[in-house]
Amino acid sequence: MTPAALADLVRSVAHGVLADRGLDPGALPDTVTVHRLRDPQHGDYATNVALQTGKKAGVQPRDLAGWLAEELSRRPGVRTVDVAGPGFINLWLGAEAHGDILTQVLAAGKRFGSGHELGGWRINIESVPANRTGPVDLADARQVAVADALVRILTFAGAVVTRGHASGEAASDRRTPGYDVSIYVLGSGNADQLTAVGAAPGSDSPTVEVLAGQQVNLVQKAARGQLTQRGTTIADLMEAIGADATRYALVRSAFDSPLAIDRDVWSRRTDDNPLFVIQYAHARLAALARNAADLRVSCSDPQLTLLGHRSEGELIRTLADLPRVVTRAARLREPHRVARYLEELAGAYHSFCAACRVLPLGDERPNPLHAARLVLCEATRQVLANGLDLLDVSAPEWL
């Protein structure tokens, strides 16, 4: 049960609870949200729907929360429900719900995380370079990387997206009817185009959004402190840290914040390099699949209800978050949310590895738990690959 499915269940149950008591279900918000709790002792997920709805429906939020908890606890996939504070509802999922998530991931494959939230939307994205000649600097490269990632994320969320590259002078003439939204991605050197884009004429023009980036610097530690290298080009950065790290570093932070890229960190194959941690996790999972094949550990007919370890549950719930992350990244035009999610997922996988052994050792015969954990690993590899692809970064099988 993904967070989206759980949210739908909560809303459906709340609608029934209100109607059965002669209260107005119209008091419910259009969208019910659930969020994952960091401390699993307090629950897997929580919702504040009773706080949002209680007084509008004419009841105390905590009373409504109690009714909802009683009814939700009877639903398949929900193990325990508790009411906290003035009306928060904490939910623990059952092992079968966690197994359903893994089944969904593997069934969807490369499409897991995609959705229809922006279905029917026609979006045009323009990256507007500053009026410069010569080599591409890091600020211009950042806007291109962010625009490219947005195309992939918005498309994954269901939109029909076209990509353009408007010149600075022509930006105000590019507001083209036929699109629902035109998004202009501006680098730090062309803030003067904000007025031109915003002043584009035409009542038939679509909604216009402007994303304004900030300065990017390449920095390197020196004997007397940090040295900032100005005037660095994209070619310099790619030569220093590689193409994958360049793309990832340029989209990892909020576009409207200044960015400092430490060439020493991003060129190392160590745990302080965020991309290396992610790619290493993917490569390790690919190697695990090869080793499982050699040991003839099969994923067929796995008993996924065996996955009851705390670290297994945390990893599964993190996998289930990808659709929500993609939707928010698309709606907020913030591709860095995907990057930070991948770092969280890689961290959850490494914690799982430290706590749970996947393959048999020595003369140990493969058992159902090995098979179930292998399914979890394959699902994790798939989600890592999907997220990296959204950022146009490779998912290596060997490192």
**pLDDT tens-digit readout, 9-63:** 999 999 999 999 999 999 999 989 999 988 878 899 999 999 999 999 999 999 9
Which of 330, 334, 295, 315 is closest to 382 using CA atoms? 315
Please give the average per-residue pLDDT across 255-272, as a whole number. 93
Question: What CATH fold (topology level) applies to the domain 3-93?
Answer: Gyrase A; domain 2 (3.30.1360)
Residue matched to tokens 């993917």: 282
Q: Model-level pTM greater than 0.95?
A: no
Q: Using alpha carbons, list the distances in angstroms from residue 294 to 103, 277, 298, 372.
A: 24, 26, 10, 17
| Sheet of 181-186, strand order | 160-164, 122-128, 181-186, 207-212
Which residue ranges make up each domain of the chain? 3-93, 122-267, 274-390
Token code pair at residue 311 = 């670290």
pLDDT tens for 84-123 read: 999 999 999 988 899 999 999 999 999 999 999 899 899 9
Question: What CATH fold (topology level) applies to the domain 122-267?
Answer: Rossmann fold (3.40.50)
Its CATH architecture, for the domain 274-390, is Orthogonal Bundle (1.10)
The pLDDT score that the predictor gives to residue 194 is 56
363 by Cβ neighbours in 10 Å (0-12 / 13-18 / 19+) ranks as: exposed
Residue 315 — pLDDT band, cuts 50, 70, 90? very high
pLDDT tens for 207-234 read: 889 999 998 888 877 545 565 665 578 8
